[in-house]
Amino acid sequence: MKRLLPVMLGLILAAVLVLISEQEPGRRFAPAGAVAGFGHSGRAADEPLNPAVAAPLPTLIAVAPQGFTSAPPGERPYVPILMYHYVRYVDRAADPLGFSLSVTPEQLDAQLGWLKAAGYETVRMDALAACMRGEGPCPLRAVALTFDDGYADAFTTALPILQRHGLVATFYIVSGFVGQPGYMGWPEIRALRDAGMEIGAHSMTHPDLTGLGLEELRAQVGQSGAAISAEVGQPVLSFCYPGGRFSDTVVAVTREAGYTSATTTIQDGPQSDPFTLPRLRISGDLTLEGLQWMVTSRLP
């Protein structure tokens, strides 16, 4: 019962907020054109069709379930941080790298469905960092979902699947790529925000930060977050090193810029430093059993 109480309060709050937003036309979560882009209209006729994925999407709610079940005070259970890039179909033979960076909508749907059914919750990186600083509750049994680079399919494909499962994720945006072909524009990024997703930063132009002079490094790290923050109207607290490349200087600059966490591409490892967080790479050839093992071996 103690565990259920925050969940119930969260649901009531979400319901109230949805009601409020219904009455305020100005609070619609995305332009009509952007919402019309939901679904899988871009799917080619010969692509595999999973009825679960192709089913009509539920009405999008303005407020995603926040909250997670808190661990007992003083306890900080391990939180596997899953790293995604694209959610799309790729021909493995034609584009092996693209294949490894992608999961299909069906794979993501199955993975999130299993996480949900197995009782895992999701935590945003800003909340995980607060937990690590001892300034916020820690989740009892949660994973963090992260999506790098701000590709267009984060909005068209990942978001509806996340919403169907009532899960939240952190999206790391490359500020200078916003609106370019293949990437989300600001309306789509604001739609993610309005759906309760966290918007993080991933530099201005995705360079190897370890190769930059101090001035350029500060600009890439600090100005990307500032630019995103100005567009989404919220602080940007979470950073992701492009290509996973970082050094002591890069970490120091990221910390100084005001972020509260930064993720790497280090595969697995301790979560002792919030600015060098390891992640678990979710590649196209990872089976559902592989993901289950990845998560349950770290967080039973």
- Give 149 or 188: the residue with its C-beta nearer to Zn ion: 149
We find the least distance from the C-beta atom of residue 206 to Zn ion, in angstroms, to be 6
Pairing mode of beta strands 81-84, 142-149? parallel
- Cα dist from 85 to 147, 199, 257, whole Å: 5, 15, 25
What is d(CA 56, CA 44) in angstroms, rounded to the nearest whole number? 17
Question: Could you say which of 109, 126, 148, 188 contacts Zn ion (CB under 5 A)?
Answer: 148
Closer residue to Zn ion (CB): 121 or 198: 198
Nearer to Zn ion, 68 or 239 (CB): 239
Concatenated DSSP letters of the chain: -TTHHHHHHHHHHHHHHHHHHHH-GGG-SS-HHHHHT-SSTT--TTS---HHHHSPPPPPPSS-----PBPPTT------EEEE-EES---TTT-HHHHHTEE-HHHHHHHHHHHHHTT-EE--HHHHHHHHHTSSPPBSSEEEEEEEETBTHIIIIIHHHHHHHT---EEEE-GGGTTSTTB--HHHHHHHHHTT-EEEE--SS---GGGS-HHHHHIIIIIHHHHHHHHHTS---EEE-GGG---HHHHHHHHHTT-SEEEEEEES-----TTSEEEEE--TT--HHHHHHHHHTT--
Nearer to Zn ion, 247 or 297 (CB): 247
Q: Which is nearer to Zn ion, 110 or 158 (CB)?
A: 158
Determine the residue with CB nearest Zn ion: 148
Determine the interface stretch with Zn ion among 44-52, 142-150, 155-163, 228-236 (rule: CB under 5 A). Answer: 142-150
Stretch that binds Zn ion, among 133-141, 146-154, 192-200, 286-294 (CB under 5 A): 146-154
Which of these, 288, 237, 280, lies nearest to 260 by C-alpha position?
237
Whole-number minimum distance, CB 83 to Zn ion, in Å? 10
Please report how close the Cβ of residue 149 comes to Zn ion at its closest, in angstroms. 5
Asked if 165 contacts 113 with a C-beta cutoff of 8 angstroms, the reply is: yes
Span from 29-37, 144-152, 161-169, 244-252 in contact with Zn ion (CB under 5 A): 144-152
- Min dist CB 146 to Zn ion, Å, is 10
Nearer to Zn ion, 148 or 198 (CB): 148
Q: How far is the CB of 242 from Zn ion (least distance, A)?
A: 5
Closest approach of Zn ion to the CB of residue 243, in Å? 6
Q: How many residues bind to Zn ion according to rule CB under 5 A?
A: 2
Give me 164's structure tokens. 């169907």
> 188 or 194: whose CB is closer to Zn ion?
188
- Name the segment binding Zn ion (CB under 5 A); options: 88-96, 112-120, 148-156, 292-300: 148-156
* Smallest distance from Zn ion to CB 148, Å: 4
CB of 200 to Zn ion, least distance (A): 11
Instruction: Indicate the residue among 69 and 265 with the shorter CB distance to Zn ion.
Output: 265
Name which position in 149, 153, 198, 231 contacts Zn ion (CB under 5 A).
149
Q: Which residues from 203-262 bind Zn ion, rule CB under 5 A?
A: none
The site for Zn ion (CB under 5 A) is made up of 148-149
